[in-house]
Amino acid sequence: MRYLIKFSKESDIKFVAHLDFMRTIQRMMKRSGLPVEYSKGFNPHINLSLAQPLAVGVYSSGDYMDAAFEEEIDENIIIEKLNASAPIGIKVFEAKKVKEEENKRVFKSMAAIDAAKYRIKIKYNNVDFLNEDMEKLLNLEQWNTIKKTKRGEGEVDIKSQVKDFDYSVVDNILVMRTIISCGSRENLSAELLAKFIQDNTGESNKDAFIDIRREEMYAEVEKKLVPLYKYAETI
Amino acid sequence: MLEYKNMINARGGFLMNKISDDILFKVEKPVRYVGGEINSYNKDINKVDIRFAFCFPDVYEVGMSHLGTRILYHVLNEREDTFCERVFAPWTDMEGLMRENNILLYGLESKDPIKGFDFVGFTLQYEMSYTNILNMLDLAGIPIRASERGEDSPIVMCGGPCAYNPEPLYDIADFFAIGEGEEQMNEIMDLYRKYKGKGQKKEFLRELSHIEGIYVPSLYSVDYNEDGTIKEFKPLYEDVPTKIKKRIIKNFNDVAYPIDKFIVPYGEIVHDRIVLETFRGCTRGCRFCQAGIVYRPVREKKTDKLLEMAEKLIKSTGYSELSLTSLSICDYSDLQNLIYKLVRKHEKDKVGVSLPSLRIDSFSVDLINEIQKVRKTGLTFAPEAGTQRMRDVINKGVTEQNLMDSARSAFESGWSTIKLYFMIGLPYETIEDVEGIADLAQKVVDQYFGVPKEKRKKGLKVTVSTAIFVPKPFTPFQWIPQIKMEDVKEEIGTLRSSIKSRNINYNWHETPVSYLEAVFARGDRRICDVLIKAFQKGAKFDGWSQYFNFDIWMEAIEQCGIDGDFYAYRERSYDETLPWDFIDVGVSKEFLIRENERAKRAEITPDCRLGCENCGVNVKLEGECFEGALFNKVQ
């Protein structure tokens, strides 16, 4: 039985790297006593995959994983047992059974996502001209920046991958809320976006940590973005 | 959680610590510094009386792999009145940022500076971590010399295997705890409650010296002869004991263990698995081995107890590997049964069982096949020496035939990678003994090719590793000079040219680190100044080759007017007062002398399960040999 599980990786553990985080989740699953399904082979692993890895330092209040259990389990029991065995920094919010039909591809959150919502905070030494700088930026047709890929470096326009963008200035901090492309079809890293904003506004504190929190992940259905756990109910 | 944090410390002073994301995002492996792991403790500091900083003088991944740290952390935190926190040596990148931002060394649990704690305890696992102890004290804002610390500084204690020769740290620690700490730690805390907050550190230390196994160096004086040897070591007061007797746990089956509170780190550590301690002590009597002497007598946990512990540990951690640990694991008297039951019971949960390096005389293919069912583990043998004569000298009761039989059966059951560990620079060694290492490795290769092609796995790889022998206190070789550095070079060269097969891979370390290890292992109080000098000159992380700087050490030794060779290369006579003679490990000096004399004649001493060799441990300590063991097996 396959389930889509919504969980958080909170600020406390934002520096846990992806592979370590995967191990942490596997152990949480084992502690929960749920009838997890194992891969075959010499080094059996729990069948588990995350929708999209988080970069070191980025945390999330709305991430997703696909998990498989050997039998059907009440969704609330899954949530309860996982929360009881979770370490500090992981909370489980939703568990949705995913329909499996013969001759149909199994649901994979990795393949289903199209966008993700982020809150990004950048520290500034001086914010007197920040609103002005931001307005100028927003009026630009394109946000061209250098993107590193496996094939090398190249200039790309990242504005086309920004689906929603809003900001405010609180004390010395620029707080942005944005929805950007995420997933296998088109992907914009929140860090790249944050770096672009930081580099194209004056007086940012380049020595400070940029705080990035992912808040939700979406699938696009008929030109509308639907949170993944809701999307899973409809298929 | 990590941002600006204020606190009123236990002593009423106001301290502040900040370990912000602005710092953490700049360092390598920031998870080392954040804590909050599952099964770690957190306590309301207003509800505890005693705050303890348990310090491991190396990085998090190394320190968290140390079982003793986990056990004592558990013992202390089981007390309602005590909050024990972990502290590891920050890596140099973090240290730099901490110094730059005036961040004092802090406890991983509360992030409070340990400067305000009641106790700062260090575990001494290897001599080359000593500069890290000094660096950690300095980073904590605590004076490094015990003689310069006042009432407002925490009490600094040290324990662990290197505490069996505590003298090189005599002016760093306020006191040393000798032997096993599970019971003693509670006695120390109980006594401290009586003195806490009264400004009577001296009085506390004096009364503490009455607890068995406690050594308070400031209560003793040392006089030297003109030749530099010790003339007299004596207590300054009548009530202070002349001999310090090591502590042992008598009911080992029921000793405290973090069964429900075994910490699972977020990041990968060196030994990232459940560790289940099966027994303490060793009966083999290898003459180079300090652990084999100081951890006597042998005491075992019962199989049923271990099975029950394993089940709880698996449930509370979620780990999928469990490693059985002890010295010489195959000597556990019910090993076959224990492994069989563990594997059967946890197969369905995909939990694998692993064993640390195996002795070749007890290697059983059935046993390994049992383990392999779930998960493959590495195959390592430690013959230690290349010739039978040399193995007899060191009393490694292993024959060439043992190794060949084991290698053969390993190859027959599908292994093709074998590691062989040896030592060079052993006492009474000749160049033939060194060449013998190459011969032995070649014979292992021949065993492989003796197995029919269709039965053996392709890609034979035999890895030979040599370490340089360091004579240690409380071994039959404690009087012996260490091999000279130039001779090490020659031996390694000989061995390299003696290895012919392309299937043999030779790893060696030709490093002056072992010279310093020898100086510290058998050092006295005068070495403490060298340590402090080297630290002031920038020595730290000496166990990490990228930081080890021999020149700093040679300068420090010279500037302190010390002759390093006096400690490393000098042959001691049996009647010399050795710096660690005041410690009673239970094994008598007469036994050690007898063993050294036998070594000279290449005479072996059988495993004491076959008959008591009168080492003294069962007479001098109250423990019993083989407590809890089944007597069905001597291999």
pLDDT of residue B5: 35
Measured between CB atoms, which of B22, B38, B315 is closest to A87?
A: B38
| Residue indicated by tokens 């405010």 | A168
**Helices (H) and strands (E) in chain B — how many of each?**
21, 21
Chain A's closest residue to B320, CA to CA, is A27
Band of pLDDT at residue B624, cut at 50, 70 and 90: confident
Residue B363 has pLDDT above 60, yes or no: no
Measure A182 CA to nearest chain B CA, in Å.
24
Q: Are A174 and A166 in contact (CB under 8 A)?
A: no
Domain boundaries, chain B: 5-245, 527-561
- Interchain CB distance below 8 Å, A11 and B20: no
d(CA B17, CA B7): 8
Mean pLDDT value across residues B126-149? 97
- Interchain CB distance below 8 Å, B267 and A20: yes
Residue B213 has pLDDT above 50, yes or no: yes
What are the backbone angles phi and psi of residue A221, rounded to the nearest 5°?
Answer: -125, 120
DSSP assignments along chain A, one per residue:
-EEEEEEEE-GGGTTS-HHHHHHHHHHHHHHHT--B-B--SSS--B-EEESSPPPTT-EEEEEEEEEEBSS---HHHHHHHHHHHPPTTEEEEEEEEEP--TTSPPP-HHHH--EEEEEEEEEBS--TTHHHHHHHHHH-S--EEEEEETTEEEEEE-GGGEEEEEEEEETTEEEEEEEEE-SSSS---HHHHHHHHHHTSTTB-TTSPPEEEEEEEEEEETTEEEEHHHHHHH-
The least confident of A132-136, B293-297, B374-378, B478-482 is B374-378
* Residue ranges of domains in chain A, CATH in brackets: 2-111 (3.30.70.580), 114-225 (3.30.70)
Mean pLDDT value across residues B582-590? 97
Chain B's closest residue to A207, CA to CA, is B22
Measured between CB atoms, which of A15, A21, A30 is closest to B34?
A: A15
Tell which residue, B456, B437, B452, B453, has the closest CA to residue B504.
B437
- Selected residue of A15, A19, A40 to mutate for chain B interface (largest B Cβ count, 10 A): A15
Contacts of B317 in chain A (CB under 8 A): 27, 31
Contacts of A81 in chain B (CB under 8 A): none
Contacts of B264 in chain A (CB under 8 A): 24, 27, 87
Question: What torsion do the CA atoms of B125, B71, B269, B340 make, to the nearest 10 degrees?
Answer: 110
pLDDT tens digit sequence for B72-88: 999 999 999 999 999 99
- Ramachandran sector of residue A211 (left: φ over 0; alpha: ψ -120 to 50; beta: rest): beta
- Interchain CB distance below 8 Å, A27 and B264: yes
pLDDT tens digit sequence for B609-620: 888 999 999 888
Q: B5-245 has which CATH code?
A: 3.40.50.280
- Interchain CB distance below 8 Å, B266 and A28: no
Contacts of A191 in chain B (CB under 8 A): none
Band of pLDDT at residue B524, cut at 50, 70 and 90: very high
ipTM of the complex: 0.93
- Interchain CB distance below 8 Å, A12 and B317: no
Q: How many other CB atoms are there within 10 angstroms of residue B250's CB atom?
A: 16
Residue A140 has pLDDT above 60, yes or no: yes
Mean pLDDT value across residues A98-116? 87
Measured between CB atoms, which of A16, A30, A207 is closest to B31?
A: A16
Chain A's closest residue to B30, CA to CA, is A15
pLDDT of residue A151: 79
- Interchain CB distance below 8 Å, B24 and A15: yes
pLDDT tens digit sequence for A179-202: 999 999 999 999 999 999 999 999
pLDDT of residue B4: 32
**What residues of chain B have any CB closer than 8 angstroms to a CB in chain A?**
1-2, 20-22, 24-25, 30-31, 34, 36-38, 264, 266-268, 314-320, 349-350, 375-376
Band of pLDDT at residue B355, cut at 50, 70 and 90: confident
